[in-house]
């Protein structure tokens, strides 16, 4: 079972995206030595987009965005300096968010476990509105959710009308995330929208509170649910600024990896403590950020994880490889 799959009630669970899949995959490979199958969710229904958008939404489900990150300015840049701050939208914007990912866990003598997320695109329309204390409520509504995989695309057909709201401070730090699902949305649609919403939340650029100019560099460090490296550090550089539209490049790293990983046994038996032989998280990309839009309007980010674990009792080496791509494109 994919730990990101919603509960039996069908509603997205109020959890934060993290590295739970890694530990679950390792435990399955080490103890069960079998490949797992992802739960594809409910059968697709043949509702039209118009019908989906017109129906009532279920009560909002709150998702914990985790502790606020720390932001450290490294270089203020040059030229005209200004404090970067998100502001209310003048007009609604439509953005297509495309996500794909793959993960592979390999243990000697066991069948390799592969988890694939084929390229899938969530097209949303939304805007930012004022909230209390200078914060913004960035709300988007799903217009279309498709996948290159026909089965997933059919399941995602129930997503239109899904509403996602981020509450963020003027500097871009996300303080809250909520999801409102159409009553007939399938589990696959709910899970897909939730995972994409978490990815968009992570991609939201947090700005330093100091005034900056082109060439400015700063680091945003946030906590994540990773048993080996519990922090992610993103270093941004402001490469262009035209009015309210900024272009930033980014580099991702995971500092301070632990020397061991405790993998729970899925059968309830004793857990396994693995030695961390290698652990590397990298990422890069470029984003175009409209300070008056609810999410980035253009750009691509890529990230990868490469890990090697050793069971000190048997000497078996487990390798874990994960790659993901997130792309934003203005649509309409």
How far is it, in rounded angstroms, from Cα 274 to Cα 259?
9
pLDDT in tens, 292-301: 999 999 999 9
Residue 324 maps to a domain: yes
Q: Where are the alpha helices (DSSP H) in 130-222?
A: 150-156, 187-203
Q: By mean pLDDT, which of 92-106, 143-157, 263-277 is the weakest?
A: 263-277
**What is the sign of the dihedral through the CA atoms of 50, 53, 56 and 61?**
positive
In this predicted structure, what is the pLDDT of residue 277?
Answer: 97
Evaluate whether residue 311 is within a structural domain.
yes
The answer to whether residue 318 sits within a structural domain is yes
| Averaged pLDDT score across all residues of the chain | 85
Q: Is residue 2 part of a domain?
A: no
pLDDT of 1 strictly over 60? no
- Output the pLDDT for position 34: 30
Closest CA to 147 of 195, 189, 113, 104: 189
Nearest 10 degrees: CA dihedral of 206, 212, 214, 218? -50
Paired tokens of 53? 């958008």
| pLDDT for residue 272 | 84
Q: What angle do CA 129, 328, 145 make, to 5 degrees?
A: 85
For residue 66, what pLDDT band results from cuts at 50, 70 and 90?
Answer: confident
Write the CB contacts of 320 (distance below 8 Å, at least 6 apart in sequence): 22, 25, 26, 103, 104, 105, 106, 305, 306, 307, 308, 309
CA-closest candidate to residue 110, choices 38, 37, 22, 34 = 34
CA distance 49 to 143: 7
- Please state, in angstroms and rounded to a whole number, the distance separating the CA atoms of residues 137 and 134: 10
pLDDT at residue 27 in the model: 43
Q: How many CB atoms lie within 10 A of CB 256?
A: 9
Residue 146 in contact with residue 127, Cβ under 8 Å?
Answer: no
Q: What is the pLDDT of residue 29?
A: 43
Residue 12: inside a domain = no
> What is the pLDDT at residue 14?
43
Determine the pLDDT at residue 314.
Answer: 87
Q: How far is it, in rounded angstroms, from Cα 208 to Cα 201?
A: 17
Residue listed under structure tokens 């997503």 = 159
Work out the percent of the chain whose per-residue pLDDT is above 70.
82
CATH number, position 230: 2.30.230
Residues 6 or more apart whose Cβ sits within 8 Å of residue 60: 165, 178, 179, 180
Least confident of 13-27, 119-133, 163-177: 13-27
Residue ranges with strand state E in 91-216: 93-106, 113-130, 136-147, 163-168, 174-180, 212-214
Number of domains in the chain: 1
Three-class DSSP category at 20: helix
pLDDT band at 56 (very low <50, low <70, confident <90, very high): confident
Query: For 268-282, what is the mean pLDDT?
Result: 90
Q: Is the pLDDT reported for residue 18 higher than 80?
A: no
Give pLDDT, residue 266. Answer: 60
Q: Which of 24-33, 37-46, 209-218 has the highest mean pLDDT?
A: 209-218
Which pLDDT belongs to residue 30? 40
Q: Note the pLDDT tens digit of each residue in 73-107.
A: 999 999 999 999 999 999 999 999 999 999 999 98
For 253, the domain range is 20-330
Whether 15 is in a domain gets the answer no
What tokens were used for 311? 């069971």
pTM above 0.75, yes or no: yes
Determine the Cα–Cα distance for residues 120 and 129; give it in Å rounded to an integer. 28
Domain presence at residue 298: yes
Q: How far is CA 290 from the centre of its chain?
A: 20
Identify the pLDDT of residue 54: 57
Domain annotation covers residue 192: yes
Task: Taking residues 39-47, report their average pLDDT.
Answer: 37
Asked if residue 149 has pLDDT above 50, the reply is yes
Question: Mind listing the pLDDT tens digit for each residue in 220-267?
Answer: 999 999 999 999 999 999 999 999 999 999 999 999 999 999 987 666
CA dihedral 269, 225, 255, 208 (to 10 degrees): -170
Least confident stretch, 20-34, 98-112, 158-172, 253-267: 20-34
The whole-number average pLDDT for the span 157-166 is 96
Q: Report the pLDDT value the prediction gives residue 55, as an integer from 0 to 100.
A: 64
> Which residues lie below 8 Å from residue 270, measured CB to CB, with a gap of 6+?
none
Does the pLDDT of residue 65 top 90, yes or no? no
Q: Is the pLDDT of residue 154 over 70?
A: yes
């Amino acid at each position: 079972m994919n730990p990101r799959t919603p509960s039996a009630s069908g509603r997205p669970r109020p959890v934060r995206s993290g590295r739970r899949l890694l530990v679950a995959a390792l435990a399955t490979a080490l103890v069960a030595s079998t490949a797992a199958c992802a739960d594809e969710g409910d059968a697709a229904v043949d509702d039209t987009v118009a019908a989906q958008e017109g129906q009532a939404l279920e009560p909002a489900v709150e998702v914990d965005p985790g502790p606020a990150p720390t932001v450290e300015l490294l270089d203020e840049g040059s030229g005209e300096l200004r404090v970067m701050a998100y502001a209310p939208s003048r007009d609604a914007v439509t953005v297509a968010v495309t996500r794909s990912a793959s993960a592979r866990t390999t243990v000697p003598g066991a069948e390799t476990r592969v988890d694939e997320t084929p390229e899938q695109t969530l097209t949303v329309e939304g805007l930012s509105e004022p909230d209390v204390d200078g914060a913004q409520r960035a709300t988007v509504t799903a217009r279309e959710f498709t996948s290159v995989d026909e089965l997933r695309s059919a399941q995602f057909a129930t997503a239109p009308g899904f509403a996602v709201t981020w509450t963020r401070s003027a500097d871009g730090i996300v303080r809250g995330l909520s999801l409102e699902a159409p009553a007939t949305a399938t589990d696959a649609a709910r899970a897909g929208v939730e995972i994409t919403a978490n990815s968009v939340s992570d991609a939201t650029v947090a700005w330093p509170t100091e005034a900056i100019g082109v060439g400015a560099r700063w680091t945003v460090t946030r906590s994540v649910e990773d048993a080996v490296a519990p922090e992610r550090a993103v270093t941004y550089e402001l490469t262009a600024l035209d009015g309210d539209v900024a272009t930033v490049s980014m580099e991702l790293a995971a500092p301070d990896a632990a020397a061991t990983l405790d993998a729970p046994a899925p059968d309830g038996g004793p857990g396994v403590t693995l030695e961390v032989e290698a652990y590397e998280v990298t990422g890069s990309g470029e984003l175009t950020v409209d300070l008056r839009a609810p999410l980035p309007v253009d750009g691509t980010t890529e990230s990868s994880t490469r890990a090697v674990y050793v069971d000190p009792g048997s000497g078996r080496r487990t390798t874990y490889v994960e790659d993901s791509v997130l792309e934003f494109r203005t649509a309409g």
